[in-house]
Amino acid sequence: MKKTFTLNIEGRNRDRVLDAVKHDVRKYVARERRRALPPGVDFLDFDCKFGLSQATAAVAHLSALTSLIDEAAKGGADQCYVEILAKAGHRQTRPKAVDEAAGNP
């Protein structure tokens, strides 16, 4: 999903528009996670970018997107750009030294 959301829509409450934007982001992620995984893939990972425009978008973590949208709205932004791309994720085993340091045998 690559989309620029307008945060100021005439005739609509700004808070409701903000809720709708966050709902669209969550709905897209949930839809992607429901898809069947290709062979050899353990989970879906997401590459995310956020900015006030496509040109100024910076890499962001998926869990930080809603707070970034809130910050943009509090800053008085008229629009925000959200990019979420699903990619194949592969689980990696932890090194044995990390497990022992954490107290796991």
The full set of domain ranges for the chain reads: 2-101
| CA-to-CA separations, 38 to 7, 27, 87, in angstroms, rounded | 36, 21, 11
What pLDDT score does 92 carry? Answer: 83
Determine contact, residues 41/83, Cβ cutoff 8 Å.
no
What pLDDT score does 32 carry? Answer: 94
- Percentage above 70 pLDDT, the chain: 91
> Taking phi first (over 0 means left), then psi (-120 to 50 degrees means alpha), and beta for anything else, what does residue 7 get?
alpha
- Looking at 3-82, list the stretches that DSSP marks H as alpha helix, in order from N- to C-terminal side: 14-34, 65-74
81 three-state secondary structure = strand
Q: Give the predicted TM-score (pTM) of the model.
A: 0.82
What pLDDT score does 40 carry? Answer: 87
68-78 pLDDT tens trace: 999 999 999 99
